[in-house]
Amino acid sequence: MSEMEMTSQTPEKREQSLLNLICLIAAALFLALVAYNLFAAGAVISTDGLFFTVVPLLLAMMFLVVPGLDMWKKRKALAAEGGAAEAAAHAEPEEEIHFVGSNRLFLSVWFWLLVLTAFEVFLGYIRLPVVYMLVILMGASIIKAALIVAYFMHLRFERINLILTIVPAVVICICLLLVFFPDSFRAKNLRYSGPPPAAGSEARP
């Protein structure tokens, strides 16, 4: 029975692929004509040149419609099959969700982030000397970053494997960037800091 079906289908398929092939060859010929015309005509944007470009292009597209439609049909059939298979695969296990933390916890984290931010802005308001400012601000920012990573980004509730993969690497890399600072201070010390040049000497533009 199935063999019968196979044999009855095969000539049809062969016909279809032969038709596709002929159409493709015709389209390719017309496209070649277009290309030849483009090179031979010299000026592309003349009325005649445009005509001889557009008309073979249209004809080529007409021939391309047949294999195009065939391909589209095949892809749709494939997608339907794949979709059915995927749906079947999805139907089996419901995605297991790992989620810890209540809305109250998140609200309190948000509250503490706001408090730390307000503290930082207050420091900006009273204008401490810049070195104290830098140390305190960086400390507060690191605490804030830790809060965000731990609770909002949920890292605290992940496996220790993941935490140990992510955190130390980033921290070490960032600390390595500090290697530039001695050079920065050196550049500052190289700067001329004597008395300003005499008023009579040449003025800089």
Burial of 27 (0-12, 13-18, 19+ CB in 10 A): buried
Contact yes or no for 136/123 (Cβ under 8 A): yes
- Verify binding: residue 204, another protein, rule CB under 8 A: no
Q: Tell me the number of residues near another protein by CB under 8 A.
A: 53
Stretch that binds another protein, among 10-18, 37-45, 58-66, 134-142 (CB under 8 A): 134-142
Binding segment for another protein (CB under 8 A), chosen from 2-10, 40-48, 51-59, 167-175, is: 167-175
| CA triple 58-60-61, angle to 5 deg | 65
Q: Is residue 134 at the binding interface for another protein, with CB under 8 A as the rule?
A: yes
Long-range (24+ apart) CB contacts under 8 A made by 63-68 are: 63/23, 63/24, 63/26, 63/27, 63/30, 64/23, 64/24, 64/27, 66/19, 66/20, 66/23, 67/20, 67/23, 67/24
What is the footprint of another protein within residues 57-96 (CB under 8 A)?
95
Single residue of 174, 198, 199, 203 touching another protein by CB under 8 A: 174
Q: How far is the CB of 147 from another protein (least distance, A)?
A: 9
Shortest reach from residue 110's CB to another protein, in Å = 5
Query: From the centroid of its chain, how far is CA 67?
Result: 34
99 Cα distance to chain centroid: 26
Token couple for 13:
């398929």
1, 43, 88, 177: residue in contact with another protein (rule CB under 8 A): 177
Dihedral (C-alpha) 143, 145, 151, 152: value to the nearest 10 degrees?
150
Residue 200 CB, nearest approach to another protein (Å): 19
Q: Which of 26, 33, 59, 133 binds another protein (CB under 8 A)?
A: 133
CB 56 within 8 A of CB 37: yes
Interface residue list for another protein (CB under 8 A): 95, 97-99, 101, 103, 106-107, 110, 113-114, 117, 120-121, 123-125, 127, 130, 133-134, 137-138, 140-141, 144-145, 148-149, 152-154, 158-159, 161-162, 165-166, 169-170, 173-174, 177-178, 180-181, 183-188, 191
